Structure formats: structure tokens, C-alpha cells
């Protein structure tokens, strides 16, 4: 806990803080241009400086990605913290004493207790570091870490240490500095013994566990090779260590996550360290097998995409996937990287960043991963059992273009007829003889994701004539596929009650549109009623519009970054970025990934 920071302290921090220095610390060189300064934006990747700083007013604006604010917002956005935390961090950086509003005696005692325990944790961490670096009793630990490719620089960066194999070494040292038994136990440094506190970690390699601000909140002790006992002993849950609230490595990964818009989630501490060592520094590890709501809330402040990399153990995958489903509910786009059997991210990182990125290039959606895992078992448990599993998976998935793609994938691999394909989504009808047409099947395989969304939209317009005409007019300028552009007048005529001839050369596309229309019938079981249909139509409209906006943003952003953009182009880019944010926000409010 902490009291409310008084206004005088906030103003002193604002006056002392140097926004130019803060930006330079994140991005490197800052170039002065008259009363302003320019730098590369710390919130997105760019080669040419488009981040404008007003040093006197402590304000910033990026012409590339549109972010803006003051010195406090800069820290809040970049480090994903609230306003009081931003003030505290800046006060610590610039040496401003923090004064709080008048506190009660109990509040004052609690703040002092928190500070003492934080100092105890920090001093214990430093002690473990010294033991690993200098003590003869840590020689085996040093050799083991070298074997695991953890050299002196990585050890120092992650503050890895060693706990001596003694019962009271840490306890006696802490008591000599005036710490109490209650503080030793509350911090998790010590456990209750028969005759008082004893060292919790003994004879183990120690990984300090930090919060997002880089403060030591606990420790994880790894058993030495060949020694019996649990592989890891963590600090116990208590007033200062909450496993479900921490993400290992976040204090180093916070900036890269915000900059790249994604977080890589792995299982182990050494996985995080290895990935950071090869430049994948947006990696973090959860303190358990499944991400918690608190951890996801912390990550949501920084990014919109999660990439989950785990090994081939199915029990671990199932637990991790529970967290990923929760992440999707919170609006994240979630990708899964299925690693080869017997390999973890640390082992893949031994091949360098290129090997890691190559592995990550195989990332798929959660639904695609579940479908692929089930299909891989068809020789083991038989096609009928696999079909039953897939029917459960697909029928429970929301009606999105991704589900449509996975249904087709299953039908292709299992060689299903139209009836069995329809039953994958609880009896959906798929426009019977057309769904079995060979030309239609070949056309489906050629479609990329954007083409699929546009085609689903045209089918939805035909299926919902009362809403479809407005949706068509709203999206017609945004359609990219020439075959879809050519069909706009035909669809419009159908919606106003006419019976136009099929445009020459469009027969296969029109055949598929009629097949897709069948999915919008409530009797098909995919979309339960008219209200749900209207929502699904709106989702498709938003996705088509978002892709069109992104098409225009890309070239303009390049021109801004290389300095060739005109003033009008900069204004247009800002307008488009606002439109993109609005579209993505509305999509996420519907729990739909903005693909």
C-alpha cells in the first residue's frame, strides 16, 4: 500500500523530469531542431525519426503512429503503469523525495514495513549474487550454468545467484542488520523452523523473481543436478509475493513488448533468458502453466497479440490453452507455436534468432492448433474418435472465418462428404449439391484469408437482404478482389428484388456464394437467430473496412518515416490511424480478433 502523493511532489517531479533524456534512453540519439527535438518513436519500429518532443512543455507526438502525451503519460504507456507508479518511477530517477498526503499512524507503519521488506529482498538478492560469483561452494553451480550457456553477462543481467547449503546463513546475516523474524518470514527469505526462522533456499541456484518495475518480490531456487528434491522451490504466497500476478522477465521485456505489439509466452526461466540473449526480448514466462487474469491485464496494457510457445507434452498444453482461451476473451489475438517433440525454446535459441523466428513462423490460431492436434491422432485413436473430438471443438468455436477455414481443412484431411462436414458445426447446411462441386472445392483452396472474408461478406449480404444493402454500400469501395468488385452490381440487384444474369466468368464464385448463404439459415445451427446474424454481418463489415484502412496506412507511414510525406499526407495518416483504432476497438468489443 501507499498513501496519496501530494500535488507539490507531482509538480516537482514534472519540473525535474527530462523528457528528452527519457526518450534518448529508449531510442538512442535525439536530434534538436530549434525549440523541438526529434527521435525515432519508442512505440513502434521506424528508421527515420518522426517522434516530436517539446522539451519545455514536456510533451510528445509521433507523426508515424499518432501517440501523444506528457512526461507522465510517456512512462505510463511505455511501462504499462498507472499515474502514481509513473510519478514514483520518475521521482526515483530524478532524485525527488516523495511526500504523501497526511497518513494515519497505521498507514505510516505499513508503508515503513513495506520499505523494510523490499530492502531485505534486495539485500538478499545481492548476497546470493556475490556467493555465486565469488564463493568456492558455488563452483559446481558456476560450471552447470556455463554448460547451460549462461555466461557472466547473462548471469549479471538476470541477477542469478546461489544459496549456500546452510540452515541459517541468510537468517543470521539479516538479523545482524536489524531485520525481525516476522520480516524474514513475510519476505519469503526464511521459513518457520522449530527454533525460529531458517533459510528457505539451501544449496540451490537462485533466480530472483521481479515485478514489472524490476523490484525483487521473491526467489525461485533450482536444485543442483544429481541432488534429490523438487526441481524448483519458489517463495511462498504471501503479502509480497503473488505468483499469479508476476511474469518472469517483464521488467526487461516491457519496452520491447510495447514496441512490437506482442508478447512471447514460454514456460521456463531459462527459456526467457535464452530468447532474450538472441534478441527475442519480448519473451516472458508465467509463474505457472496457465496465464491468470491479473497477468493478462498487465499484458493487455502493452500489446494485443500473444504468441505461446510450449513443448509437446499434452498435459502442459491443455493447462496453457486454458489461459489462452481467457486471453481471447480479453481481446487478445492468440497464436500458438507448436515446438518439435523434446525441444524447448532455450534449445531452439541455440540456433540463434533466425532459428527462433523460423519456429515462430509456424504459429497458428488456437482453433487451428486444436484441430491440428486432433487430426494428428487419427492413426492412434481412429478416424471416428477424431471426428467426434473435432465436432466438439468446432461446434463450440464462435462462427468466424477461422472456423470456416478449419471446417474445410478437416473435411479435406478426413475426406468427408457434405453431410459429415455439415455436422462438424452441429448440422450446418452447406448448399448441397454446390458444396460437392469440384470447381468450388478448387476455388476454396486458392483463397487467401482476406478473399475469404470478402466472400463471406457478400454471402451475408445476400442472406440478410434488409441489412445487406447498407452493408454492401458501406464496404463496396473497400473490396480488393477484382472478382468481388465485379459482383457488386449483381449482388445489389439481387438485394433490391431483381433477378440478374450471372456475370460471365463469375460462375464459380457465385456458386460458392449460394453455398455460403446456407450457413446463415438459423436452422443450420451456426447462427442462432437474426440478432446474432446482424452482429456477425457487422463483424465482417468491420474486418473488410479495417483491411482497406491498413492498405492505405502502410505506404503513408513509409513516406512519413523516410521524410518524403507532405503535410496533407501526414494529416491523412493521422485520420486513418484514428479510424483504425476505432475499428479495432469495435471488433475487440465483439471478442473478434482484428485480422
DSSP bridge pairs for 5: 100
Query: What pLDDT band is residue 562 in, cutting at 50, 70 and 90?
Result: low
Q: How many Å apart are CA 434 and CA 515, to the nearest integer?
A: 6
Which residue did the predictor score with more confidence, 427 or 456?
A: 456
Q: Which helix (H) or strand (E) holds 198?
A: strand 196-199
Q: What is the pLDDT of residues 246-303, one digit of tens each?
A: 999 998 998 788 778 899 999 889 999 999 999 999 999 987 767 888 898 888 877 8
Q: Say if residues 516 and 582 touch (Cβ distance below 8 Å).
A: no
User: What is the structure's pLDDT at 312?
Assistant: 57
Residue 574 has pLDDT above 90, yes or no: no
Q: How many Å apart are CA 560 and CA 562, to the nearest integer?
A: 6
Residue 551 has pLDDT above 90, yes or no: no
Cα diameter, the chain: 92
Over residues 231-238, the mean pLDDT reads 90
User: What is the structure's pLDDT at 447?
Assistant: 42
User: What is the structure's pLDDT at 25?
Assistant: 81
Out of 3.20.20.140, 3.90.580.10, 3.30.300.180, 3.40.50.1360, select the CATH number for domain 7-94: 3.90.580.10
Percentage of residues in the chain with pLDDT exceeding 90? 31
Residue listed under C-alpha cell 469495435? 586
Cα dist from 246 to 217, 294, 362, 493, whole Å:
9, 8, 28, 57
Q: Which helix (H) or strand (E) holds 230?
A: none
User: What is the structure's pLDDT at 523?
Assistant: 59
Cβ contacts of residue 386 below 8 Å, gap of 6+? 374, 375, 377, 378, 414
Query: What pLDDT band is residue 443 in, cutting at 50, 70 and 90?
Result: very low
- 64: cell is 508515424
Q: What is the pLDDT of residues 298-346, one digit of tens each?
A: 888 778 899 998 765 665 677 677 778 788 888 888 999 888 777 888 8
Over residues 146-163, the mean pLDDT reads 94
User: What is the structure's pLDDT at 270?
Assistant: 92
Query: What pLDDT band is residue 217 in, cutting at 50, 70 and 90?
Result: very high
Mean of per-residue pLDDT scores for the chain: 84
- 85: cell is 507508479
User: What is the structure's pLDDT at 166?
Assistant: 92
Q: What is the pLDDT of residues 15-53, one digit of tens each?
A: 999 999 998 887 877 888 777 888 888 877 777 888 888
| Cα 365 from chain centre | 13
User: What is the structure's pLDDT at 429?
Assistant: 34
Name the E strands within 254-368.
262-266, 283-286, 305-310, 333-338, 364-365
Residue 554 has pLDDT above 90, yes or no: no
User: What is the structure's pLDDT at 474?
Assistant: 92
Name the E strands within 328-429.
333-338, 364-365
268-274 contacts: CB < 8 A, separation 24 or more? 268/344, 268/345, 268/346, 269/207, 269/220, 270/148, 270/150, 270/346, 271/309, 271/344, 271/345, 271/346, 271/349, 272/248, 273/150, 273/154, 273/158, 273/249, 273/346, 274/149, 274/345, 274/346, 274/349, 274/350
- Return the SS3 of 55: coil
Closest CA to 481 of 461, 457, 516: 457
Query: What pLDDT band is residue 595 in, cutting at 50, 70 and 90?
Result: very low
Q: Which helix (H) or strand (E) holds 207?
A: strand 204-210
Cα dist from 92 to 9, 13, 102, whole Å:
12, 9, 21
Residue 441 has pLDDT above 50, yes or no: no
Over residues 114-123, the mean pLDDT reads 93
- 559: cell is 513516406
Q: Say if residues 329 and 300 touch (Cβ distance below 8 Å).
A: no
- In the chain, domain spans: 7-94, 107-240, 245-362, 448-595
- 525: cell is 445451427
Residue 437 has pLDDT above 50, yes or no: no
Q: Say if residues 424 and 391 touch (Cβ distance below 8 Å).
A: yes
Q: How many Å apart are CA 256 and CA 577, to the nearest integer?
A: 21
Q: What is the pLDDT of residues 356-384, one digit of tens each?
A: 988 888 888 889 988 988 998 888 888 88
Q: How many Å apart are CA 190 and CA 201, to the nearest integer?
A: 8
In degrees, to the nearest 5, what angle opens at C-alpha 383 toward C-alphas 381 and 389?
75
Q: Say if residues 541 and 532 touch (Cβ distance below 8 Å).
A: no
Residue 528 has pLDDT above 80, yes or no: no
Cβ contacts of residue 551 below 8 Å, gap of 6+? 480
Task: Return the minimum-mean-pLDDT range out of 174-188, 372-386, 397-411, 561-575.
Answer: 561-575
Q: How many Å apart are CA 25 and CA 288, to the nearest integer?
A: 33
Residue 589 has pLDDT above 80, yes or no: yes
Cβ contacts of residue 211 below 8 Å, gap of 6+? 217, 245, 246, 250, 251
The CATH architecture assigned to 245-362 reads: 3-Layer(aba) Sandwich (3.40)
Q: Say if residues 207 and 160 touch (Cβ distance below 8 Å).
A: yes
Over residues 502-518, the mean pLDDT reads 76
Superfamily grouping for domain 107-240: DNA primase, catalytic core, N-terminal domain (3.90.980.10)
Amino acid at each position: 500500500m501507499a498513501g496519496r502523493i501530494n500535488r507539490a511532489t507531482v509538480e516537482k517531479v514534472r519540473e525535474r523530469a527530462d523528457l528528452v533524456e527519457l526518450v534518448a534512453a529508449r531510442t538512442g540519439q535525439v536530434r534538436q531542431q530549434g525549440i523541438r527535438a526529434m527521435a525515432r518513436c519508442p512505440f513502434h519500429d521506424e528508421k527515420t525519426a518522426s517522434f516530436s518532443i517539446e522539451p519545455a512543455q514536456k510533451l510528445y507526438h509521433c507523426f508515424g503512429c499518432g501517440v501523444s502525451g506528457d512526461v507522465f503519460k510517456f512512462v505510463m504507456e511505455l511501462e504499462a503503469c498507472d499515474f502514481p507508479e509513473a510519478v514514483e518511477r520518475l521521482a526515483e530517477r530524478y532524485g525527488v523525495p516523495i511526500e504523501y498526503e497526511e497518513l494515519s499512524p497505521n498507514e505510516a507503519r505499513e508503508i515503513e514495513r513495506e520499505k523494510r521488506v523490499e530492502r531485505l529482498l534486495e539485500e538478499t538478492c545481492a548476497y546470493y549474487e556475490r556467493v555465486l560469483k565469488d564463493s568456492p561452494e558455488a563452483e559446481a553451480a558456476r560450471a552447470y550454468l556455463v554448460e547451460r550457456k549462461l555466461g557472466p553477462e547473462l548471469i549479471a543481467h538476470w541477477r542469478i545467484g546461489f544459496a549456500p547449503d546452510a540452515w541459517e546463513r541468510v537468517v543470521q546475516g539479516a538479523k545482524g542488520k536489524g531485520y525481525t523474524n516476522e520480516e524474514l518470514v513475510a519476505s519469503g527469505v526464511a521459513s518457520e523452523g522449530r527454533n525460529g526462522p531458517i533459510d528457505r533456499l539451501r544449496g540451490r541456484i537462485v533466480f530472483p523473481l521481479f515485478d514489472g518495475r524490476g523490484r525483487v518480490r521473491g526467489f525461485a531456487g533450482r536444485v543442483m543436478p544429481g541432488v534429490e528434491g523438487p526441481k524448483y522451490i519458489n517463495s511462498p504466497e504471501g503479502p509480497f509475493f503473488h505468483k499469479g500476478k508476476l511474469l518472469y522477465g517483464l521488467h526487461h521485456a516491457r519496452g520491447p513488448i510495447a514496441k512490437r505489439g506482442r508478447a512471447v509466452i514460454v514456460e521456463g526461466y531459462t527459456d526467457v533468458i535464452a530468447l532474450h540473449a538472441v534478441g527475442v526480448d519480448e519473451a516472458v514466462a508465467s509463474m505457472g502453466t496457465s496465464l491468470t487474469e491479473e497477468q493478462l491485464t498487465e499484458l493487455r496494457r502493452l500489446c494485443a497479440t500473444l504468441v505461446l510457445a510450449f513443448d509437446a507434452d499434452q498435459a502442459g498444453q491443455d493447462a496453457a490453452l486454458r489461459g489462452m482461451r481467457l486471453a481471447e476473451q480479453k481481446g487478445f489475438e492468440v497464436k500458438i507455436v507448436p515446438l518439435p517433440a523434446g525441444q524447448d525454446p532455450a534449445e531452439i535459441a541455440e540456433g540463434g534468432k533466425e532459428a527462433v523466428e523460423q519456429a515462430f513462423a509456424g504459429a497458428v490460431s488456437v482453433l487451428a492448433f486444436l484441430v491440428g492436434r486432433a487430426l494428428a491422432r487419427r492413426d492412434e485413436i481412429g478416424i471416428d474418435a477424431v471426428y467426434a473430438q473435432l465436432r466438439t471443438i468446432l461446434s463450440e468455436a464462435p462462427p468466424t472465418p477461422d472456423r470456416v477455414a478449419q471446417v474445410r481443412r478437416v473435411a479435406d484431411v478426413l475426406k468427408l462428404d457434405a453431410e459429415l462436414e455439415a455436422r462438424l458445426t452441429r448440422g450446418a447446411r452447406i448448399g448441397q449439391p454446390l458444396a460437392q462441386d469440384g470447381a468450388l472445392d478448387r476455388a476454396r483452396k486458392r483463397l487467401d484469408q482476406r478473399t475469404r472474408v470478402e466472400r463471406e461478406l457478400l454471402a451475408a449480404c445476400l442472406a440478410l437482404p434488409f441489412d445487406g444493402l447498407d452493408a454492401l454500400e458501406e464496404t463496396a469501395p473497400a473490396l480488393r478482389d477484382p472478382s468481388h468488385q465485379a459482383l457488386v452490381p449483381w449482388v445489389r440487384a439481387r438485394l433490391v428484388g431483381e433477378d440478374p444474369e450471372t456475370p460471365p466468368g463469375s460462375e464459380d464464385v457465385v456458386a460458392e456464394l449460394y453455398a455460403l448463404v446456407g450457413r446463415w439459415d438459423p436452422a443450420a445451427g451456426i447462427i442462432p437467430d437474426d440478432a446474432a446474424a446482424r452482429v456477425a454481418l457487422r463483424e465482417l463489415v468491420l474486418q473488410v473496412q479495417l483491411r482497406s484502412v491498413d492498405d492505405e496506412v502502410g505506404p503513408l507511414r513509409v513516406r512519413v518515416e523516410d521524410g518524403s510525406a507532405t503535410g496533407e499526407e501526414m494529416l491523412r495518416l493521422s485520420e486513418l490511424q484514428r479510424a483504425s483504432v476505432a475499428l479495432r476497438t469495435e471488433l475487440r468489443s465483439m471478442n473478434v480478433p482484428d485480422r
